[in-house]
Copies of this chain bind each other. A is one copy, B any other.
């Protein structure tokens, strides 16, 4: 799929078929994630690929915005490691860039995905740290369930000329 088309037609896909996601595609999505830029090239990310049904079900219960996680064949938990930072606080942006790469790669590969938010909501951060046995320093940023879309998701145009300014506000 052409890059601009992928960017413009990507949707948040919350319903999946029962079909498994081949490991080869998961590896491509992880390679896309790690191709993101990061402050000082720190690459402060970790990825937990979650296949176990009981973990997906438990994760689904941590936030009310994650009901689709229990029905996904796989989900990837994206975490940051602020301890490697030379530029404090930028891990959130670095890991967000990695997630956006993952969403676009998934879409280009015929999969559907959605970014479900964890950080900075403390309650969700604590829930994910406990469930996935994260070391104290590791911060869960977002969870990305993945699967084949259960139905078509037509493009939504979000272009808004009012958000564009020239030279200053």
Binding site for B on A (CB under 8 A): 1-4, 6-8, 10, 12, 28, 30-32, 34-37, 39, 43, 45-52, 55, 87-90, 92-93, 96-97, 99-101, 103-105, 107-109, 114-115, 117, 120-121, 131-135, 138, 141-142, 158-160, 163-169
Contacts and interface: CB of A to CB of B under 8 A. Distances in A.
Give how many copies assemble into the complex. Answer: 2
Contacts of A131: 168
Query: How would you classify the secondary structure of chain A's contact residues: helix, strand, loop or mixed?
Result: mixed
Contact of A3 (B3, B141, B158): B3
B105 A3 contact: yes
Nearest to A131: B168
B105 A96 contact: no
* Max chain B C-beta neighbours (<10 A), residue from A35, A47, A164: A35
Contacts of A6: 3
